Structure 1
């Protein structure tokens, strides 16, 4: 799909090839993507493993588009963007949970284990020690990853964390119901 700009676009170079700057590309997607996909793309800009842009850069880009087509959707997406997401599936799960009225989880929060070692959790409900872990298929097909995951889950359980494992096949209503039950079990009113 081609795209025409009504003004000169800021260009970066990657391996010598000219590319539109990341924030500019994200803004250009506002008229093509549904809101949740735009949020996930925005989360990637400010996410892990290395942020590509700052919230300040994103806010300036939105401000510069005041009155232009797509700016309302950019503002809506910006309001729901959060730093530290590692994947679009994490963003999707967070949005489903928050829109269902559950507390907002911390994305990729650091957790101290009893061994003194640190780990990260995909979506962390720290006050209740509930953790959602999104499992991609590589977790099943890579024996080394699977072994690491098992040790990590055992360490988290030993430290008192309740871990909910999520896959792309889990339906939104099941994700919400499981998370709500776990949070209530841990004291959420």
Structure 2
């Protein structure tokens, strides 16, 4: 872990101002790190807390990462609950109300609980990004949706609560990446039933594959081929080899890549869903809430 400290405290402990300027650089107002260090998100969270004179609470996406959620970059802006809003680069202060039972200590830092973290992310982030973050948090640090509903009742009609209420029933820890969450939301917004995630495919009672998402009753699967297939050749080969075995067992697999247009993806899935005898669905709308017409 990178050394992170308050400059005034270091000067009080005997560090000269010359050495402070020579060997360290400022991370936030009054907070310093070694000049050539590359801070992690955890380091930056410590710095954000220090710049509030140790009175703030780490919240939002940074809090989800401290709880173990994946897909959070080290340069993600740090959200912190404070009594006085003083903006600075890399820091997102929020003067939101909170109570002591919504804060836990994580690595010696005050951090919002998983349910309070979900309450904040589901309100402040854009809809698709919010669901992806909520899925990742549920996977890393499971929380009860009922606890989030209690916070919604406690704080009333605050910013973004309508979006949060809409997303809460859709959270699924089975989504293994933000793009899988996005794809699932695309299907739901397009009028399809919520797909099941991480579907086991059995051959003679032995699982031979776990499908990203799909509809078990009509044996229709939707797989998102992400960047890991370019970076992890071994995993890519495994995935390619398992698909024929899955298809021999009667499954139809629709593969989606980043370059596919959302409307085309939705059309392909709906066509297969109808063809394979899925329940009645609404006609595809000109646009959904996850992509423009």
Counterparts of 1:120-131 in structure 2, within 5 Å, are: 120-131=210-221
Select which of 85, 93, 101 maps to 1:2: 93
Q: Residue 33 of structure 1: CA displacement?
A: 1.7
In structure 1, what is the Cα distance between the partners aligned to 2:144 and 2:195? 21
Match of 2:57 in 1: none
Distance of 1:105 and 1:161 partners within structure 2? 15
What is the correspondence of 1:33-112 to structure 2 with a 5 Å cutoff? 33-46=125-138, 48=139, 50-112=140-202
**2:111 aligned to 15, 19, 24, which one?**
19
Of structures 1 and 2, the larger Rg is shown by 2
User: What TM-score, normalized to structure 2?
Assistant: 0.57
Return the alpha-carbon distance in structure 1 between the equivalents of residues 205 and 99 of structure 2: 54
Please tell me the root mean square deviation across aligned C-alpha atoms, in Å.
2.3
Asked whether the equivalents of residues 190 and 266 of structure 2 are also in contact (C-alpha less than 8 Å), the reply is yes
Q: CA deviation at 1:83?
A: 4.5
Distance in 2 (CA, whole Å) between partners of 1:149 and 1:139 is 9
Q: How far is the alpha carbon of 1:147 from its aligned partner? A: 2.0
Structure 2 residue runs without a partner (length 5+): 1-91, 281-293
Between the aligned partners of 2:206 and 2:253, the Cα distance in structure 1 is: 19
Q: Do the aligned partners of residues 64 and 84 (structure 1) sit closer, same or farther apart at CA in structure 2, a change above 3 Å counting?
A: farther
In the aligned structure 2, how far is the partner of 1:184 from the partner of 1:123? 17
1:180, CA displacement in angstroms? 1.7
TM-score (norm 1): 0.84
Query: Would the alpha carbon gap of residues 29 and 13 (structure 1) be closer, same or farther in structure 2, given more than 3 Å must change?
Result: same
How far apart are the structure 1 equivalents of 2:217 and 2:204?
17
Secondary structure of residue in 2 paired with 1:117 = strand
How many corresponding residue pairs?
187
Q: How far is the alpha carbon of 1:51 from its aligned partner?
A: 4.4
Deviation at 1:34, TM superposition (A): 2.0
